[in-house]
Amino acid sequence: MRIFYPAKLYKEVLHIAWPLIATQASFTLMLFIDRLLLARYSEVAIQAALPGGILSFTLCCGFMSVAGYTSTFVAQFFGAKNRPACSRSTAQGVLFTLFTAPILLLLIFPGRWLLAHAGHAPDVLANELPYFTILMLGCVAIPLNAAISSYFTGQGRTKITMVTTILGNVVNIALDYALIFGHFGFPEMGIRGAAIGTIIAGFISPAILFTVYFSKREQHLFQTRATFGYDHRLFWRMIRFSVPAGIHLALDLASFSAFVLLTGRMGAVALASSNIALSINTLAFMPLIGFGIATSIIVGQYQGRREPERARQAAHAAFQVALLYMCTTGALFVSIPDFFIGLFLRPDSATLAAEILPVGRYLLVILTLWGLADAGNLIYASALKGAGDTRFVMIFSLAASWFMLVPGQLVIIEWLKLGIVAAWCWTGLYVLLLALGFSVRFFQGRWKTINVIG
């Protein structure tokens, strides 16, 4: 692999990536403030928010990934200069979301069962259950937004999705402040208010994007109204490639959710320390997802143009930029850990803070190391998915998650009782394994011969 590539390639990556990074950064800020407000509201609320929130996202993320894989089809059709097929692909992603919405609602019941049997303290569980349930009632907005935003991101028009997402996140923050504490005439609802604010704000971005999608300009250029209907052949071709990507994300997050739920069995200090460190991790991880989405789009567009060598170079360039970003973020986590941890500690909890800070410092060091591996994991997995190699991504992730991460965590936490630091070290090794597997697969180049759009 070359050390550096033409400056034009880095500019192309950053041109598509920076609005996506800004989008994810705004989402990160929203989550950060949401959890910060809950932490200031009560210690129990912040302990309940992460398990309940991760579980709800885990149950709907597979549907989001399938709907969001529309962007790969749009990118490849756009690269092939087939505009009507871009809008026709988007319609299939939207219809998939509508067809599967009832399934999302039914997943509330197994989700509540999992929380009830996670072994968390009764006061934590009493907050987890309503938070999770309310989030699930409105979680159809997540795959719906993924489907309609794919029309724009697949073409590289990422600024419009940035604007709509930031607007939704600003509304979310305002609603959280009002509904958690009872400001501006609203009742004080605590963690329930945080969930209600999230689902209301979640529909803002897709509502705006649908308005633009059906506008006269888009109809003239892409025939968005004329092509909005069920296309049997295209629908099932998209299912063929997108379902493995959806299973990959669902199983990956499910294994990580199992890790989060298991930490609840290790006591209040371990749970609080881990939840705070994971909340801090969103500052680095969510923008990194923006790099991953950009990589998938660029690789897809070059594959649509039948330029696999250019796609390869773009993926490597994206990895270099993402790695530089993670080095910068990690340096901050290691140099001023008390600042980040202190944001989540209540002023009147000096005793708990004295116990959390030493553990939290170790976790942020581990977090920095696994963040560097996560750059390779996300970039090369995204590149493979953008090229259509979704089956390998699914199988390898399944093996790593359920034959390494979860069994290892059970041994460390339940049997050997080695503590939260050892559990986090094991998770870091899991992320490193994913990064190595996806990067080796990408270097092998088998993805170059995959024909996604037919």
pLDDT exceeds cutoff 90 at 143:
yes
Top pLDDT among 52 and 213 is at 213
Residue range 24-36: mean pLDDT, rounded:
75
> What's the 3-state SS for 139-184?
CCHHHHHHHHHHHHHCCCCHHHHHHHHHHHHHHHHHHHHHHHHCCC
Helix (H, G, I), strand (E, B) or coil at 355: helix
- Of residues 395, 415, 51, 411, the one with CA closest to residue 254: 51
Q: Report pLDDT for 284.
A: 76
**Confidence label for 193 from pLDDT (cuts 50, 70 and 90):** very high
**CA separation for the pair 12, 7 (Å, rounded):** 9
Q: Report pLDDT for 343.
A: 79
Tally the residues of the chain.
454
Q: Report pLDDT for 119.
A: 82
**Confidence label for 6 from pLDDT (cuts 50, 70 and 90):** confident
pLDDT digits (tens, 9 = 90+) for 160-171: 999 999 999 899
**Confidence label for 274 from pLDDT (cuts 50, 70 and 90):** confident
Q: What is the dihedral of CA 110, 116, 118, 120, to 10 degrees?
A: 150
Q: Report pLDDT for 130.
A: 94
Q: Report pLDDT for 401.
A: 92
| Buried-state track 308-327, b at ≥16 Cβ within 10 A, e below 16 | bebbbbbbbbbbbbbbebbe
Q: Report pLDDT for 88.
A: 97
Q: Report pLDDT for 233.
A: 95
pLDDT exceeds cutoff 90 at 105:
yes
Q: In this structure, are residues 68 and 246 in contact, taking their beta carbons and an 8 Å threshold?
A: no
Give me 333's structure tokens: 């986590």
Q: In this structure, are residues 164 and 132 in contact, taking their beta carbons and an 8 Å threshold?
A: no
Quote the percentage of the chain above a pLDDT of 90.
65
**Confidence label for 95 from pLDDT (cuts 50, 70 and 90):** very high
Q: In this structure, are residues 227 and 21 in contact, taking their beta carbons and an 8 Å threshold?
A: no
**CA separation for the pair 192, 130 (Å, rounded):** 6
Q: Which of 6-10, 39-43, 320-324 has the highest mean pLDDT?
A: 320-324
**CA separation for the pair 206, 204 (Å, rounded):** 6
